[in-house]
Chain A
Amino acid sequence: MEVVFKAPHALVDVPMHYCPGCTHGIAHRLVAEAIDELDIEGKTIGVSPVGCAYNNYLYFNCDMVQAAHGRAPAVATGIKRSLPDNIVFTYQGDGDLAAIGTAEIVHAATRGENITVVFINNTIYGMTSGQMAPTTLLGQMTTTTPFGRDPKVNGFPIRISEMLATLEGPAYIERVSLHDVRHIRKAKEAVKKAFKVQLARKGFSLVEVLSTCPTNWGLNPVEALKRVEKEMIPHYPLGVFVGADLEV
């Protein structure tokens, strides 16, 4: 019998700890499929963040390095500068990348550091139980904005892809979403392209992935996917911000 669907080799065959309906699992799979299809597992080194994905070094079959909160782009820089012929990626959430690690991501981007960043934007801190993230939408209720995010108190949500796109360093930046199959397929292509950009030594690549957090949003998985489509995409439009014409 022909096998038409199987687990990617770049994923370790263990149960993941993520909540039901969380899209981290899908995002992991997309990264692993890209690694498999490009046949780069043996030379890839991933950097794990602090956040719900803190221990994804257990899930990816390539060599992995766990980083401090927000510091993954600096750690990845150290790795890539030591091993310029290897492939290096970071996998970071919005608290990690867009709050405590803002300096690190901006400077890795502006240096055109030849690494790939997978940026999970679910508008909330998951691991520490639902606090406001820099990406939390106005009015969104979190455990630290119990009455909804008020711009007078908490300021405005950050659009990371647009912000980084103002720099000259990045080669490729795209925002994608995981709320339905069609968009998951597009996300897959984006993640793969980001790795191909690195393989072609074109420089910094980042894919912002709009994701769910049903647990901390207080929604069921289906409602959560709908929220991505109805509330997040209007604020975080999908598309390529840098490198639309880049052929790799």
Chain B
Amino acid sequence: MGQKLLMKGNEVIAEAAIRAGCRHYFGYPITPQTELMHYMAKRMPAVGGVFLQAESEVAAINMVYGAASTGHRVLTSSSSPGISLKQEGISYIAGAQLPAVIVNIMRGGPGLGGIQPSQSDYFQATKGGGHGDYHMVVLAPASIQELYELTVDAFNISDRYRVMTMILGDGVLGQMMEVVDFRDEEIIETYDKSWAANGHGNKREHNMITSIHLDPAVLEQWNIGFQNKYKLISQNEQRYELFNCDDAEIILVAYGSVARICKGVIKEAAAQGIKLGLLRPITLFPFPAEAFEKVLNIPKAFLTVEMSSGQMVEDVRLTIEGRKPVYFTGRMGGMIPTVNDIISKVKEIKEKHD
């Protein structure tokens, strides 16, 4: 047994990053993720690491670019409007093939929006966000324990494929406390970093970290390399949870804190004699198509539930390709769908298909 602690989501991410060997954090304050920064400000000096409050999100992500260029594990975090500002740097990090981890504790948008929990940055997170044909790996934890596990994984995935990995949470996950069980000792995986710009020491040719290739033929090859890498990631890294799906009449599809609410819905529905299941994507990119193939023939329909106007539901439809009906329900702007909201939608769907 490790160390059991009652901790806030934002702080668990910070602690997990440190345990994963991350010694560099650059950030800029924004609600509802600031506790992550506060934790880093206290802890980093104690472990001989670097904590720096940047002058802007733009500067912070470029500091990440610099630190990642040297081959060190590096983290930044923000919330929706701040993540928009970081898109430039994220695109460059993708273009230069640098490993780094970024956290988005989402709040309602667009614009300054609000500060209450939301999932309206799904498109931005999974489809690229900045300019160019690129993706981040996107991990969507649903509990405090999973925030820990997935933050550690994020650093390993980033290093393994030289990609940026995003932890995509929302205000509920960032702010809530649950018990986390830390391993006594973290095994830090190490990867080849011979590409890093850390001074050639007169022992090798100079390394160059860059995202610019003015010859279109060269740039196309560079891009083909990315796409092959994403295919490999899709083969190796799809993660999901199937809960109660075996004889479900309707399978709910939800990620993050909404998936937790859906588990409450499943309990409540069972009490009313309705059998529901849950397909919870843990990786949003790569999208877990595997999971859908496993359960495709079980339910009469799928119901996607999000704190958005319906973003992930597009990937659900692309995956199911019309083979089963797909419905959507959700709330926006920081409103959280209630158990009753979802159950009434379930009943509406049931009536259509019974």
Contacts and interface: CB of A to CB of B under 8 A. Distances in A.
Interface of A: 12, 41-45, 47-48, 54-55, 57-58, 60-68, 71, 74-83, 86, 103-104, 106-107
B24 A63 contact: no
14 contacts: A41-B200, A57-B210, A64-B210, A66-B96, A66-B210, A67-B92, A75-B65, A77-B52, A77-B66, A79-B66, A83-B198, A103-B55, A104-B58, A107-B55
Given A41-B202, A42-B200, A67 B208 contact: no
Interface of B: 24, 26, 50, 52, 54-56, 58-60, 62-70, 72, 74, 88-89, 92, 96, 197-203, 206-212
A63 B200 contact: yes
Q: Which 6 A-B pairs have the closest CB atoms?
A: A78-B66, A74-B62, A78-B63, A66-B210, A63-B197, A75-B66
Contact of B203 (A42, A86, A106): A42
Nearest to A64: B208
A42 B202 CA distance: 5
B70 A82 contact: yes
B69 A75 contact: yes
Given A68-B89, A103-B59, A81 B52 contact: yes
Given A63-B197, A68-B88, A104-B55, 17 more contacts: A43-B199, A45-B197, A45-B198, A62-B206, A64-B206, A65-B197, A65-B208, A66-B209, A66-B212, A68-B62, A75-B63, A78-B70, A78-B74, A79-B66, A81-B63, A82-B74, A104-B62
Nearest to B100: A78
Contacts of B96: 66
A63 B62 contact: no
B93 to A, nearest CB: 10
Given A54-B212, A62-B206, A68-B92, A78 B64 contact: yes
Given A74-B66, A81-B52, A103-B59, A66 B211 contact: yes
Contacts of B197: 45, 63-65, 79
Nearest to A68: B92
B205 to A, nearest CB: 9
A49 to B, nearest CB: 11
* Most chain A beta-carbon neighbours within 10 Å: one of B62, B65, B88: B62
A12 B66 CA distance: 23
B84 to A, nearest CB: 15
A65 B63 CA distance: 12
A83 B70 contact: yes
A58 B201 CA distance: 18
* Most chain A beta-carbon neighbours within 10 Å: one of B26, B69, B74: B69
B202 to A, nearest CB: 4
A47 B197 CA distance: 10
A48 B208 CA distance: 10
A42 B201 CA distance: 4
Contacts of A55: 210, 212
Nearest to B199: A43
Nearest to A58: B208
A235 to B, nearest CB: 28
A67 B62 contact: yes
Contact of A63 (B64, B72, B208, B212): B208
Contacts of A83: 70, 198-199
Nearest to B23: A82
Contacts of A48: 210
Nearest to B211: A66
Contacts of B210: 48, 55, 57, 64-66
A150 B207 CA distance: 44
Given A45-B197, A64-B209, A79-B70, A74 B59 contact: yes
Contacts of B65: 65, 67-68, 71, 74-75, 78
A148 to B, nearest CB: 32
B5 to A, nearest CB: 29
Contact of A71 (B52, B89, B208): B89
B247 to A, nearest CB: 53
B62 A71 contact: yes
A135 B54 CA distance: 26
A81 B67 contact: yes
Nearest to B73: A82
A44 B74 contact: no
A70 to B, nearest CB: 9
Contacts of A74: 54, 58-60, 62-63, 65-66
A77 B202 CA distance: 23
* Most chain B beta-carbon neighbours within 10 Å: one of A58, A75, A78: A78
B67 A63 contact: no
A107 B52 contact: no
Contacts of B67: 78-79, 81-82
A86 B62 contact: no
A178 to B, nearest CB: 25
A76 B64 CA distance: 10
Contact of A75 (B62, B74, B206): B62
A106 B62 CA distance: 15
Contacts of A43: 199, 201
Contacts of B201: 42-43
B90 to A, nearest CB: 11
A57 B198 CA distance: 14
